[in-house]
Homo-oligomer: A and B are copies of this chain.
Amino acid sequence: MPERLPTLDEQIAIYQREYRDLDPQVEKVVNALSRLDRRMNVAYGRQLATLGLTSPEWEVLKELVMAGSPYQLWPGTIAKRLGLTPAAMTHRIDRMLTQSLVTREPDPDNRVRVIIGLTDTGREKWLEVMRKASVFEEELLQDLSSPERGQLGELLTRLLRRVEDAQPDAGGRLTDLD
């Protein structure tokens, strides 16, 4: 009974025994991506915890900063980008309000809308996380030379372009399903 996580190559070898037509090259890329993201999130989670933040809160802060000055978005927009229901967004904002990370004001242009804004506290928190995160990120990439880093970024960007064009708001579809 194996305790140890199979290496990526072991995983793919087994997958190929189960499904002969599998393309090992493609599978390697896709599974490496997914494994990396899991590990990165574990690492981020640790750093967030030391700063008294949860990962849901962090996601929202990122979106608001990413929006640029004046750091405002509608709840529905954030929800769509994060793949959440509007209901979840309502409650997340509620929680973040109690910590003064964000504000919620009525939209003067449309009374059924609401504007979520980033507070200075929220912006500060974002910065603290980034400072810690960048240490981890540098460590993660330390085995890659600068040209390799650039190349990796470029290759990933090309993948991303395809999938983001196909799912503009995460609502499109890349393949026909039925």
By a beta-carbon cutoff of 8 Å, the part of chain A in contact with chain B is 1-3, 5-6, 8, 11, 14-15, 17-19, 21-23, 25-30, 32-40, 42-43, 46-47, 50, 65-68, 72-74, 77, 81, 83, 115, 123, 126-127, 130-131, 134-144, 146, 148-153, 155-160, 162-164, 167, 169-170, 173-175, 177-178
Q: Is the CB of B72 within 8 A of A153?
A: no
CB within 8 A of A134: which of B22, B34, B156, B159? Answer: B22
CB <8 Å contact, A157 and B32: yes
Tell whether, in the assembled complex, residue B39 and residue A1 are in contact, meaning their CB atoms are under 8 Å apart. no
Contact A11 B159 (CB under 8 A): no
Q: Tell me, in angstroms, the Cα distance from A136 to B170 when the chains sit together.
A: 15
**B159, A18: Cβ atoms under 8 Å?**
no
Cβ contacts under 8 Å, A26 to chain B: 134, 137-138, 141, 149
Q: Which of B14, B23, B47, B167 contacts A65 (CB 8 A)?
A: B14
**A11: shortest Cβ distance to chain B, in Å?**
5
Q: Whole-angstrom distance between the alpha carbons of A26 and B42 in the complex?
A: 18
In the complex, A1 Cα to B23 Cα: how many Å?
Answer: 43
Chain B neighbourhood of A170, CB < 8 A: 38-39, 42
Docked Cα-Cα span, A141 to B47, in Å, equals 33
Chain B residues near A156 (CB, 8 Å)? 28-29, 32-33, 36, 152
